[in-house]
Amino acid sequence: MSIHPFNWGVIAPGRIARNFAEALAVIPQATLYAVASSNLQRAQDFVDEFDGQLALDDYQQLANDPKVDAIYIANPHRFHFDSIKMCLEAGKPVLCEKPLTVNAAQTKELVALAKANNVFLMEALWTRFQPAWQQVKSWLEQQKIGEIKLISSSFGFNIPRDEDDRLLNRELAGGSLLDMGVYNVSMSQFVTQSKPNKIVADGLVGSTGVDERSSVVMNYGHCASQFTCNFLANTENSFTIFGSNGHIRVPSMFWVGTQACLSVHGEPDIVEDFPFRASGFEYQIEEVMSCVAAGKLQSEVMSWQKSIETMQIMDEIRSQIGVRYPFLGE
């Protein structure tokens, strides 16, 4: 690690970026350096609140600033591709909110660019780095529940219907799959360490043309993962891995996992709590800083290949459900 603090830049200081800034505060080497928003006042307010140094109204200026060590991108996913591309072309390491892009072709293009430009790139799938999920991984590696047979998860809330909302906006790549289901998909990959060989999906496509519900079975051969994501009802929102000899559960809300529960047939249940040090984003941020310091271009935990696979799975699900994003020429 260099002696100077690790200077973070933030693109789009909205609600999610607050979690990022709160996490930075508990990482000694990390500094909130610069914040860029299309609205300068919003950038300045964020800088003031989270003790940053520089407010900008130009993303490119942020990417070009030689003092910036890495950039966190938090704009709507429709715009991730352009923002990431700009940062990578400026040689800046990138942590970008999930989903990394809106389809697999975009992700592949960015991965090729990161490779060509020798720049770090990672999808901000923070759940994978949380201590509770590391405990899940450890239990799986120890085969505590035997062979994995089934994964069951959900992510759903009855969200007041507002057709102007980003979530229902097809031009902004809305829909429950890309916004919520990305967690069900990515954490299924995390657990299985593989990709499905078959997918079947059903969905409810509402009047705005996006999936307000997606119900999916992913067949991994040795096991299957079944999930529903939706805007229509508050579902259970836990993530359970059923094995031949018991099950592991991360209770609601699984993507904010601070508890891991192990239930082995014939043994007392084990419940382990892992409270976050801050917002929970701190673990992925530390991963980025550690990878960049080590000269790595990607994280082994949230690798490029896994991001590509996530997007391929979501492409396939969207195709089966019939959700097309016209701005992609679909």
Residues 292-321 that bind a copy of itself (CB under 8 A): 320
Which sign does the torsion angle of CA 112, 185, 322, 76 carry?
A: negative
Length of the chain in residues, anyone?
330
Q: Is 76 a binder of a copy of itself (CB under 8 A)?
A: no
Task: DSSP letter for 180, please.
Answer: I
CB crowding 124-135: b at 16 or more within 10 Å, else e: bbbbbbbbbbbb
Q: Is 194 a binder of a copy of itself (CB under 8 A)?
A: no
Which positions from 207 to 226 touch a copy of itself by CB under 8 A, shown as an x/- string? ------x-xxx-x----x-x
**In this structure, are residues 103 and 177 in contact, taking their beta carbons and an 8 Å threshold?**
no
Which positions from 158 to 187 touch a copy of itself by CB under 8 A, shown as an x/- string? x-----------------------------
**In this structure, are residues 36 and 9 in contact, taking their beta carbons and an 8 Å threshold?**
yes
Q: How far is the CB of 114 from a copy of itself (least distance, A)?
A: 34
Count Cβ atoms below 10 Å from residue 182 Cβ, excluding itself.
Answer: 25
Q: How far is the CB of 236 from a copy of itself (least distance, A)?
A: 7
Residues 122-161 that bind a copy of itself (CB under 8 A): 149-150, 152, 154, 156, 158
In the chain, % helix, strand, coil (3-state, to 5) comes to 40, 25, 35
73/145 with CB nearer a copy of itself = 145
In DSSP terms, 239 is beta-bridged to: 153, 250
128/213 with CB nearer a copy of itself = 213
Q: Which of 75, 107, 184, 235 binds a copy of itself (CB under 8 A)?
A: 235
Number of residues that bind a copy of itself (CB under 8 A): 34
Peptide bond into 314 cis (omega under 30): no
Q: Is 237 a binder of a copy of itself (CB under 8 A)?
A: no
Q: Comparing C-alpha atoms, which of 38, 72, 71 is closest to residue 56? A: 38
Q: How far is the CB of 233 from a copy of itself (least distance, A)?
A: 4
Q: Is 242 a binder of a copy of itself (CB under 8 A)?
A: yes
Q: What are phi and psi of 227, to 5 degrees?
A: -150, 160
Q: Is 192 a binder of a copy of itself (CB under 8 A)?
A: no
Q: Comparing C-alpha atoms, which of 224, 170, 220, 163 is closest to residue 196? A: 220
| Long-range contacts, stretch 60-67, CB < 8 angstroms, 24+ apart | 60/86, 60/90, 61/36, 62/9, 62/11, 62/34, 62/36, 63/9, 63/87, 63/89, 63/90, 63/92, 64/90, 65/9, 65/34, 67/7, 67/33, 67/34
113/217 with CB nearer a copy of itself = 217
Q: Which of 101, 106, 192, 240 binds a copy of itself (CB under 8 A)?
A: 240
Q: Comparing C-alpha atoms, which of 79, 75, 24, 81 is closest to residue 49? A: 24
Q: Is 109 a binder of a copy of itself (CB under 8 A)?
A: no
Interacting span for a copy of itself (CB under 8 A) from 62-70, 101-109, 245-253, 302-310: 245-253
Which sign does the torsion angle of CA 301, 305, 193, 179 carry?
A: positive
75/228 with CB nearer a copy of itself = 228
67/198 with CB nearer a copy of itself = 198
Q: How far is the CB of 33 from a copy of itself (least distance, A)?
A: 43
Which positions from 256 to 285 touch a copy of itself by CB under 8 A, shown as an x/- string? ---------x--------------------
- Which spans of this chain sit near a copy of itself (rule: CB under 8 A)? 149-150, 152, 154, 156, 158, 198, 200-202, 204, 213, 215-217, 219, 224, 226, 228, 230, 232-236, 240, 242-247, 265, 320
